[in-house]
Structure 1
């Protein structure tokens, strides 16, 4: 187990994303359908958030997701000009 207590918050966010992306790549390599993987990941993330913050807070937290998606915040292959 890796001790991340010495890392800054941004560093731990990047590390967390790296862990998720590595697990994602491994699952796809093992034949897990990316759509099923995405659905499971969203469910797991929202379930954990609800357990910590409650339904109403998570509903407020996620209310702006559609705009953020349209803006391209979650697009990994953005083209910049």
Structure 2
């Protein structure tokens, strides 16, 4: 059964809203998996695999390879670092 038959029909959200909703879903699933005892590193690796597989399926290997060439600089610049504040 496809997901579209399970979900109510609605107009597509703007791209930025879809990204925020997707991140909310992923954060909730991540928290549930951690609660169930799944290691965070295992979650990260599985998530990256699933994400890259979807990107390759959508855009192809060459486009995704070009995209990931820019990831080292983005990681080093702190784009993926979460800021935590101590009280």
Q: TM-score range by the shorter chain?
A: 0.7 to 0.9
Aligned residue among 66, 73, 76 for 2:79: 73
Calculate the TM-score normalised by the size of structure 2: 0.81
Regions of 4+ moved over 2 Å? 1-7
Q: Which runs of 5+ in 1 are unaligned?
A: none
Deviation at 1:6, TM superposition (A): 4.6
Query: Aligned equivalents of 1:4 and 1:11: distance in 2?
Result: 14
Q: CA RMSD in A?
A: 1.7
Calculate the TM-score normalised by the size of structure 1: 0.87
Deviation at 1:2, TM superposition (A): 5.8
Q: Mark the structure with the bigger radius of gyration.
A: 2
